[in-house]
């Protein structure tokens, strides 16, 4: 049986402000399917790959050299914020320890905790860039990432303590947090970090320790931002750092995408503990604006290469999309917090869109290569990524690189996969809620008694979700299942008998009864291909259509088309039916979709890029068959042309 407090990354302690209570890695196990395989590969492939690169790039050596006894005079290597890459990787290993114990991983954490502890200064400060003499403590916060790095250290310490009960890394994290409070608390300094993250970390540390000083420190960091406290004169502007408008007054997301979303996640964390409604209202307004006007179909956010930033409303060009992996992970983290705060399924829908599309596309099938930014269209087959060196980040090559000089995304992917079970379900005083459809075993402690569920599904290959009650109390409770926003119908049956039940305004199908062990609730969500169009203000894709099936966005990749089909010249015959069949991509079982297309012959336009409308030359063409695969699987078979949105043939 699981412990009283869940082993989870987000555990609100003020129960008055939450709609749903999270469960943890001690109460949720993914037991089958592609996510179980990814967790296995994350543990056995990606982690070893990542720590090999962290050693190779000097990320760990940067801290080793700070040991007063080491006598290491080698120069520091890498970007100024590489400490955070190690801390996120450590957090991933710690969370994974709650899923499967490993003496080897325990020894890794102990060794790295020792390295960090010996590098840490007596007052708790630790930053390998500053301590190498390359900057001055707290002197360049607009750029230095000092609080950002220490925030990730705090989260790693919390993860290790929750997952394993160990104290070494957590003690280091406490010392780091205490020097922050000592130097900044009580407005001894009225500025903050140029890259948000510390806010989430400090709130979670308050939750773990009960020490209110950490909550107050997080609140101060939120309150001072937006008043021009950072000198942005040499790099973008105040809006880029969310420092132009106070968070309670802001109405949309602006600037660097990851920064903006991490800030909002911290804001919701603060609301959950303080109950200040203005914080929740601001986060809801900004999230809603982002979702409606600044989010790609794949769940990507941040359309501009310049500054990895949000563009204007509806500025969503597919071929120029930046779509940083960390930004979508951040939106999943934010959406989860908003789900706990409100109980509204739209936040679980957003989590699902990001999870099955951009996040799933971020990593190669082998789990050893990654996209930092994620294009939504590729007009030409870019050269394959290097395998022995690493790019900075910039434009995604034709295949996924094995690492990056700016290596924030791979460790972020690792910790997301390690904690995925914690995002599947929740509970409240009335019962349990199922948010994501993954084959898993779930355990809950309700007021009515203990509840255990076994979820069997092949989702998203099909939409059948069977939930078997394996343990139930004598008293009734409510089992609620999310109705996805894309679903046009939902079948419900209990023990083979159909049940007529509607979804609530919050988007959940609730069934209240005295459940018995052996009861089987089956949710049947019809899965069929559908055509999707973008908001008419998204000029870049007006007049085009995309294909979705269930939660999955599809893409056309040149690898799957006939040799003479140029995806840059195809149009879709939208009135023709879409057909689906089971297939595979590099051994990954999936549903392939075929569509009737039209291949334009643009040769009459040779030599000119524009023409008067009145005498524009006619365009001929011929019918072709097009094959679409899940966007998540593209770029696994070499460089290719790819597109999601295709012009509708008229």
What's the pLDDT score for residue 3?
A: 44
Q: How far is CA 504 from CA 18, 177, 280, 514, in A?
A: 18, 42, 22, 20
Residue 129, C-beta contacts closer than 8 angstroms, at least 6 positions apart:
62, 76, 80, 81, 82, 83, 135, 144
Maximum CA extent, the chain: 80
Helix (H, G, I), strand (E, B) or coil at 73: coil
What's the pLDDT score for residue 1?
A: 33
Number of other residues whose CB lies within 10 A of the CB of residue 606: 7
What's the pLDDT score for residue 607?
A: 87
Cβ distance 218 to 263 under 8 Å?
no
Q: Distance (Å, rounded) from C-alpha 140 to C-alpha 120?
A: 20
pTM of the complete model: 0.98
Q: Distance (Å, rounded) from C-alpha 194 to C-alpha 81?
A: 12
Backbone dihedral angles phi then psi of residue 443, each to the nearest 5 degrees: -130, 135
Residue 390, C-beta contacts closer than 8 angstroms, at least 6 positions apart:
53, 57, 401, 402, 403, 404, 405, 407
Q: Distance (Å, rounded) from C-alpha 391 to C-alpha 451?
A: 49
Q: Distance (Å, rounded) from C-alpha 243 to C-alpha 245?
A: 6
Cβ distance 118 to 441 under 8 Å?
no
What's the pLDDT score for residue 2?
A: 37
Q: Distance (Å, rounded) from C-alpha 32 to C-alpha 46?
A: 19
- For residue 412, which of 375, 374, 370 has the smallest C-alpha distance? 370
Q: Distance (Å, rounded) from C-alpha 50 to C-alpha 303?
A: 27
The per-residue DSSP string of 364-375 comes to -TTSS-B-SB--
- Residues linked to residue 572 through DSSP beta bridges, in sequence order: 597, 648
Q: Which two three-digit tokens encode residue 534? A: 């973008």
Segments in the chain below pLDDT 70: 1-4
What's the pLDDT score for residue 4?
A: 66
CA 272 centroid distance within chain: 21
DSSP state of 306: G
Residue 174, C-beta contacts closer than 8 angstroms, at least 6 positions apart:
124, 157, 205, 209
The conformational region for residue 297 under phi > 0 = left, psi -120 to 50 = alpha, else beta, is alpha
> 339-363 as b/e, with b when 16 or more CB fall inside 10 Å?
bbbbbbbbbbbbbbbbbbbbbbbbb
């Amino acid at each position: 049986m699981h412990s009283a407090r869940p082993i989870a990354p987000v555990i609100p302690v003020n129960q008055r402000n939450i709609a749903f209570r999270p469960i943890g890695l001690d109460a949720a196990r993914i037991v089958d399917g592609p996510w179980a395989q990814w967790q296995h590969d994350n543990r056995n492939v990606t982690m070893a790959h990542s720590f090999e690169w962290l050693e190779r790039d000097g990320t760990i050596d940067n801290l080793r050299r700070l040991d007063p006894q080491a006598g290491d005079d080698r120069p520091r290597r890498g970007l100024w914020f590489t400490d955070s890459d190690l801390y996120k990787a450590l957090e991933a290993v710690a969370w994974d320890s709650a899923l499967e114990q490993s003496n080897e991983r325990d020894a890794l954490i102990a060794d790295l905790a020792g390295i960090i502890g010996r590098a840490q200064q007596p007052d708790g400060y630790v930053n390998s860039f500053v301590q190498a003499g390359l900057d001055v403590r707290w002197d360049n916060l607009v750029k230095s990432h000092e609080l950002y790095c220490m925030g990730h250290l705090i989260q790693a310490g919390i993860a290790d303590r929750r997952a394993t009960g160990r104290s070494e890394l957590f003690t280091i994290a406490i010392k780091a947090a205490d020097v922050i409070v000592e130097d900044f608390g009580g407005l001894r300094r009225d500025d903050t970090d140029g890259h948000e993250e510390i806010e989430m970390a400090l709130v979670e540390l308050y939750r773990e320790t009960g020490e209110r000083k950490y909550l107050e420190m997080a609140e101060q960091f939120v309150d001072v931002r937006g008043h021009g406290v950072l000198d942005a004169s040499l790099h973008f502007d105040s809006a880029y750092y969310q420092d132009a408008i106070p968070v309670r007054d802001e109405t949309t997301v602006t600037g660097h995408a990851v920064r903006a979303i991490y800030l909002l996640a911290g804001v919701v964390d603060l609301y959950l503990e303080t109950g200040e409604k203005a914080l929740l209202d601001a986060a809801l307004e900004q999230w809603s604006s982002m979702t409606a006007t600044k989010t790609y179909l794949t769940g990507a956010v941040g359309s501009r290469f310049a500054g990895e930033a949000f563009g204007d409303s509806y500025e969503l060009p597919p071929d120029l999309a930046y779509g940083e992996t960390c930004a979508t992970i951040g939106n999943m983290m934010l959406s989860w917090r908003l789900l706990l705060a409100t109980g509204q399924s739209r936040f679980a829908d957003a989590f699902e869109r990001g999870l099955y599309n951009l996040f799933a596309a971020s990593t190669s099938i082998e789990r050893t290569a990654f996209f930092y930014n994620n294009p939504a269209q590729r007009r030409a087959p870019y050269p394959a990524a290097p395998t022995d060196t690493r790019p900075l980040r910039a434009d995604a090559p034709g295949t996924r690189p094995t690492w990056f000089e700016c290596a924030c995304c791979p460790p972020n992917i690792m910790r997301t996969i390690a904690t995925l079970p914690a995002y599947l379900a929740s509970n409240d005083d009335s019962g349990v809620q199922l948010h994501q459809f993954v084959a898993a075993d779930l355990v809950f402690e309700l007021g009515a008694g203990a509840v255990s569920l076994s979820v069997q599904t092949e989702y998203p290959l099909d939409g059948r979700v069977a939930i078997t009650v394996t343990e139930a109390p004598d008293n009734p409770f409510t089992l609620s299942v999310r109705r996805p926003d894309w679903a046009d119908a939902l079948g419900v049956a209990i023990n083979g008998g159909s049940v007529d039940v509607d979804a609530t305004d919050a988007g959940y199908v609730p069934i209240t009864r005295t459940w018995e062990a052996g009861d089987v609730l089956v949710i049947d969500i019809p899965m069929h291909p559908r055509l999707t169009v973008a908001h008419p203000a998204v000029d870049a894709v007006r007049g085009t259509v995309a294909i979705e099936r269930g939660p999955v966005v599809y893409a056309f990749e040149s690898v799957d088309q006939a040799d003479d089909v140029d995806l840059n010249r195809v149009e879709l015959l939208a009135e023709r039916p879409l057909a689906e069949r089971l297939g595979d991509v590099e051994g990954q079982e999936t549903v392939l979709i075929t569509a009737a297309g039209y291949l334009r012959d643009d040769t009459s336009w040779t030599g000119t890029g524009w023409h008067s409308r009145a005498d524009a030359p006619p365009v001929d063409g011929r019918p072709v068959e097009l094959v679409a695969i899940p966007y998540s699987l593209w770029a696994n078979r070499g460089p290719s042309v790819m597109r999601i949105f295709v012009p509708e043939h008229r």
